[in-house]
Structure formats: C-alpha cells, structure tokens
C-alpha cells in the first residue's frame, strides 16, 4: 500500500523506564507494530538505550521487532538529551517522538503525520495523551496526573503546549530550535520549549485524533517521587517563565491561583465522565489518593522553594544507587 506521507523517523528511548514497568516497553512496541502505516515505512525507528533495559530484553525485542534500530548512548544520559540525540541521528523529514511507556491508538501515526502535508508552515503537531485507567487508582491518576482528558475535538487546532511522548516536528525546525536539555527540571522542558517557540510566532498545532495512553506511576515509590517532582518542576517552570518574580506563595503553583485549579478540576471531571461513565462511580473512592497526590505536589513545591535543587539531586542519587545494585 502506498501512503501519501512525508518521510519520517520515529524516536523512542529507555531513560523513562528507570522506575517504570519494564513490560510496558513490550506493550508499547506492540502498539507501534500495529500502526497504519506500519513502522517499516519509517526511514528508521531509533531506540536510544541509556542502559536502563537489560541486554537480554533488548535482544528479545529486536527479534520480535527487527525494524527497531538500537543506538547505545552514554550511560546516564537524560530524557531530553536522548530525544535530541535521536533527532540528530534521524534521516526523515519529520521527527516523530514516541515513549516506551505509552500505548498508541491504531491511527495515531497517520493522523500525526498528515498535517505536515497541508502546509510547509506546519512545523510541530502535537497529539493528545491521557492516563487511561479506570478504577480507584486509575480515576485518581486521571484526575491528578500530568495529562488532561481527551478534549473531544475533531479538527486540527492551535494549542499552547505539547507532550514529548506524542509530538512530531520537522527535523530542520527542531535542530534550529532545539528542546533545551540543561534545565533544572525532571520533566517539563517541553513547557519551556513551547513557550519560547510560540514567542517566535510558531503555531503549535494539536491533532486530537493522534491519541496516546500513558501508564500511571508504577508502585508506591514511583508515585511518591513522581508527584514530589511535579511540584519541583512547577517551581522551576514558574521561575524560568516569570524571571524576577519571587516564588514564596502556594498560589504560585497556578498562574490563576486556586480559582484556576478548581476550574481545571471541574473540567477534568466533566471530560472524564463524558469519556467513561465508570469514573463517576470510582471518583468518591479515589479522593484519598487524589488528596495524597496534591499534598505531594505542594510539598515538592515548598521543598524546592526552600532548596531549589534538593529533590532532583536526591532522586538522581537514589536512581544511581538502585542501578548499581541491579
């Protein structure tokens, strides 16, 4: 079958598997194998391995998915450094970013590529990513984790942000406006990048039909650290985007204060229930987990206000120790 699509390369990495479910990588690649068009239509599918996946697992995956090209990166390379390294290695006109802890809808690849055919001015197309679990924990994560529910929109529209697990760039544009890699953030560099490219007059297009499903935090330790680091990232994002403004109040967690957070909360409930009525049943039972998530975010923000680099340094230290043990 012939596809009227630009040439493209798919980039994924193993860095974010450091504290996630390793089986998620197999599920993720299985969803990539099922795409229309198939990944064999890509110039290459590059897996940047930073040493977080056992060698035998990688060998098994390469046997199952021979179109995966593994690039061994320097041990300890960060998430954003891995992504930008992949962009430099790729040969496709379009760089499609894919995460190893996500599962993608069958038409995801086609729908995220098609807008680039509409105009040469289209430089970046973002899909929509959700935490799509139902149950007490799943509903709690759908309410409090990073990713908003599906918008329900059908047409291409402009947006203010993107997630690096579900976005495509023209390669020449991305190399001219690279994602910053040396920021004091755990995740969220793409928030800073999106702000800067929008300042240059670049439109970030959102393709709501390019859908991805992100795994929730896996286990108590991952949950604890992930939400603490969301607070850490909020502090640094506000500091980087609003230089000169002193960050001492809890209300600084939101550009619009508590009122803005309540509006986001109401919007999430409405969209979650519209997508799956079962969330309405689980919502009361999920409240304790939601409260714990929010408290960890606030705690992470306060600790980072007091010691800006403390949490990320402690987290990286724990990762290094766990990797030495394994």
Q: Give the model confidence (pLDDT) of 66-84 as tens digits.
A: 999 999 888 778 899 999 9
Across-strand partners of 9? 44, 95
| Lowest model confidence (mean pLDDT) among 143-152, 220-229, 271-280 | 271-280
Q: Tell me where in the chain the CATH 3.90.550.10 domain(s) lie.
A: 8-217
Residue 12 gets the label, from left (phi > 0), alpha (psi -120 to 50) or beta, of beta
- Cα separation values, 310 from 258, 300, 319, Å: 26, 10, 14
Of 153, 179, 35, 50, which is closest to residue 102 (Cα–Cα)?
35
Q: What is the C-alpha to C-alpha distance for residues 276 and 26, in angstroms, rounded to an integer?
A: 26
Binned at pLDDT 50, 70 and 90, residue 178 comes out as very high
Tokens of 105: 């809808």
Binned at pLDDT 50, 70 and 90, residue 253 comes out as very low
- Report the sign of the C-alpha dihedral through residues 210, 98, 253, 237, in that order: negative
| Cβ pair 28, 13 in contact under 8 A | no
- Cα separation values, 209 from 107, 131, 151, 155, 262, Å: 8, 16, 10, 8, 27
- Residue 261 is predicted with a pLDDT of 60
Binned at pLDDT 50, 70 and 90, residue 254 comes out as very low
Residue carrying structure tokens 């020449």: 172
DSSP class of residue 179? Answer: P
Q: Does 250 score more than 50 pLDDT?
A: no
pLDDT, mean over the chain:
88
| Cβ pair 69, 45 in contact under 8 A | yes
- Residue 244 is predicted with a pLDDT of 59
CATH fold, domain 8-217, is: Spore Coat Polysaccharide Biosynthesis Protein SpsA; Chain A (3.90.550)
Q: What is the C-alpha to C-alpha distance for residues 264 and 150, in angstroms, rounded to an integer?
A: 13
| Cβ pair 306, 250 in contact under 8 A | no
| Cβ pair 253, 298 in contact under 8 A | yes
User: Which of 19-28, 88-97, 132-141 has maximum average pLDDT?
Assistant: 88-97
Q: What is the mean pLDDT of residues 192-220?
A: 95
Is the pTM higher than 0.85? yes
Q: What is the C-alpha to C-alpha distance for residues 27 and 31, in angstroms, rounded to an integer?
A: 6
Tokens of 167: 């976005």
């Amino acid at each position: 079958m012939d596809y009227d699509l630009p040439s493209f390369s798919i980039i994924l990495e193993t860095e974010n598997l450091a504290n996630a479910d390793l089986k998620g990588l197999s599920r993720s690649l299985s969803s990539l194998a099922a795409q229309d068009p198939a990944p064999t239509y890509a110039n290459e599918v590059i897996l940047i391995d930073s040493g977080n996946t056992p060698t035998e697992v990688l060998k098994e995956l390469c046997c199952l998915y021979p179109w995966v090209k593994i690039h061994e990166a320097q041990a300890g390379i960060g998430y954003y450094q891995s992504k930008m390294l992949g962009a430099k290695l790729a040969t496709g006109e379009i760089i499609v970013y894919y995460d190893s802890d996500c599962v993608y809808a069958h038409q995801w690849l086609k729908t995220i590529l098609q807008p680039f055919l509409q105009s040469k001015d289209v430089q970046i197309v973002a899909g929509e990513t959700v935490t799509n679990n139902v149950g007490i924990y799943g509903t709690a994560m759908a309410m409090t984790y990073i990713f908003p529910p599906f918008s329900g929109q059908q047409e291409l529209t402009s947006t203010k942000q993107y997630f690096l697990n579900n976005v495509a760039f023209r390669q020449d544009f991305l190399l001219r406006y690279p994602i910053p890699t040396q920021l004091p953030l755990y995740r969220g560099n793409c928030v800073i990048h999106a702000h800067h490219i929008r300042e240059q007059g670049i439109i970030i297009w959102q393709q709501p039909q390019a859908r991805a499903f992100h795994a929730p935090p896996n286990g108590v330790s991952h949950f604890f650290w992930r939400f603490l680091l969301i607070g850490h990232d909020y502090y640094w994002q506000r500091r980087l985007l609003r230089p000169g403004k002193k960050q001492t109040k809890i209300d600084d967690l939101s550009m619009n204060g508590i009122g803005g957070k309540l509006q986001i909360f109401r919007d999430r409930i409405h969209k979650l229930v519209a997508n799956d009525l079962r969330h309405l049943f689980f919502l009361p039972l999920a409240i304790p987990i939601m409260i714990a998530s929010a408290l960890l975010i606030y705690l992470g923000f306060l600790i980072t206000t007091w010691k800006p680099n403390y949490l990320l340094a402690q987290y990286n230290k724990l990762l290094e120790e766990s990797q030495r043990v394994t």
